[in-house]
Amino acid sequence: MATVRTKFTFLDQLIKEPIIWKLAKEFDVVTNIRRADVTDERGWVILELEGDQDEIERSLDWVREQNVRVDPVYEDVVEG
Amino acid sequence: MSVARKLRCRECGREYPLEPSNVCEFCFGPLEVVYDYAALMGHVTRERIEAGPPTMWRYADLLPVDAEDAVDIGTGYTPLLRAPSLGRELGLSRLYIKNDCVNPTWSFKDRVVSVASSVARDFEFRTLACASTGNLANSVAAHAARAGLDACVFIPADLERSKIIGSAVYGPTLVAVDGSYDDVNRLCSELGDKYPWAFVNINIRPYYAEGSKTLGHEVCEQLGWRAPDHCIAPMASGSLFTKIYKGIKELAWLGLIDWQPTRMSGAQALGCSPIAEAYDRDSWNIRPQKPDTIAKSLAIGNPADGYYALKTMRDTNGSATAVSDEEIIKGIQLLSETEGIFAETAGGVVISGLRQLVREGRVGPDEVVVAFITGAGLKTQEAVAPVLKPALTVEANIESFERALEEREGVLPLTKAV
């Protein structure tokens, strides 16, 4: 089993989509939300995903396909 | 005597021992170093600081590592210059330039990496690592060399040759990653989790970030132990911006300066301005951007400390601004031509950003203003090269010289009239 800490950022119309619920239904991955901030214009959710490493990666690819931005929990680590 | 005592989550307040970690296990919020300031009362005095080394380590009492354990290549205590000519151009009567171009690897990153490498050695890491497009890579490679640590530096595969050499010369393992910015970012985050390395801005980040405070400390000391009225600094991750202010506040808490409100304003490049854009929207939510600017050292599309930078500018009645690439180049030229300081693109962002803030009345003409210039222009020569006048080409005689000068300038050289 692996765990991945990640951040999803939703823009505009995606706010109303139950992306995390769908992720848990479609993939054998446990979702554990730790911190979030959602408004009517945008939102972000920091969560931990637990499951088989390949399954987690497939689930994250699927989230990206939904036009949700997926980032490491550290945000940008490449600096100038 | 470092009085760093623990790490604390900036979101939920949970506390952790001083260890290589940057994320709260509970809420995944960022961790920050907590000091026992009460233990410094009466111990840290102006005289003690003034008797310290002419480097950032004169403020070691306010850093998370003892001075005797410092990996110090001579960073900090850089010049604070009165800038009357530039001030006249911009309409500011009391403008100062904090010239951090003159650090050992020619950028402010030496401050953060000096702390990070010292802490890494304390924690008995063998390898110092980072992912960078320039300044950070140079500094990590140099400090690792000094500290006797291995260095592993990740750079984008398409990085300019001059920037590669500026790191390669110190002998690190240089890894050019073939992929988009996001790919490099993701890879390095994963490496940070997997390898037992001191990744300066991942697992060492709480300590690393503290190095930037010394810019705030120095400016106050160099102004004769007073805080500026207004600071303008570049914003990438937003960490530098918030830590300059923290440095100023620390000196006030310790009674080393009188408390007075300092306004904090930040500048970004229009092609990567997520913090300034959120400020303009009057929002706390940063919208990540895909960077597209010549100011590569500020090209962080998803800034880790963006929220905290917004909070600092709002708490201090400061503001944010963003300038185009064309204005960045004009800013570099203006600073060079008025004050003799050749800054990299981030400096151009600051100078043009300051001009914009003055025009809009967001910086007062008689405020004591400090503009933070964080990196040297030799690193980004390609940005200004196309707009500079080419050299006059002449034969080796006076007639040829004067003819060439007259053709270009329409006048003869002053020496002829003497």
Q: Which of A33, A47, A45 is nearest to A4 (CA)?
A: A47
Q: Which two tokens stand for residue B28?
A: 């995944």
Q: How far apart are CA B179 and CA B140, in angstroms?
A: 22
* CB-based contact B23 A69, cutoff 8 Å: no
Q: What is the mean pLDDT of residues B404-417?
A: 71
Interface of A with B in 59-78 (CB under 8 A): 69, 71-78
Q: How far apart are CA B375 and CA B15, in angstroms?
A: 35
Q: Classify strands B320-323 and B263-269 as parallel, antiparallel or unpaired.
A: parallel
Q: How far apart are CA B267 and CA B346, in angstroms?
A: 9
Which residues of chain A are within 8 Å of residue B235 when distances are taken between CB atoms?
none
Q: In the prediction, which pLDDT does B413 show? A: 59
* CB-based contact A79 B135, cutoff 8 Å: yes
Question: pLDDT for A44-71, tens place per residue?
Answer: 999 999 999 999 999 999 999 999 999 8
Q: Is the pLDDT confidence value at B162 over 80? A: no
Measured between alpha carbons, how far is residue B43 from residues A73, B11, B37, B63, B256 in Å? 39, 31, 10, 14, 11
Residue of chain A whose Cα is closest to the Cα of B295:
A80
Q: In the prediction, which pLDDT does B88 show? A: 98
Question: pLDDT for B278-321, tens place per residue?
Answer: 999 999 988 889 899 999 999 998 899 999 999 999 999 999 99
Let me know: does B292 contact B261? Beta carbons within 8 Å: no
Higher pLDDT, B184 or B149: B149
* CB-based contact B131 A46, cutoff 8 Å: no
Residue A45: its H or E element: strand A42-51
SS3 (DSSP) at A22: helix
Q: Classify strands B4-9 and B31-35 as parallel, antiparallel or unpaired.
A: antiparallel
DSSP, res B379 = G
Residue B31: its H or E element: strand B31-35
Question: pLDDT for B211-240, tens place per residue?
Answer: 999 999 999 999 999 999 999 999 999 999
**Burial degree of B221 (CB within 10 A; 0-12, 13-18, 19+):** buried
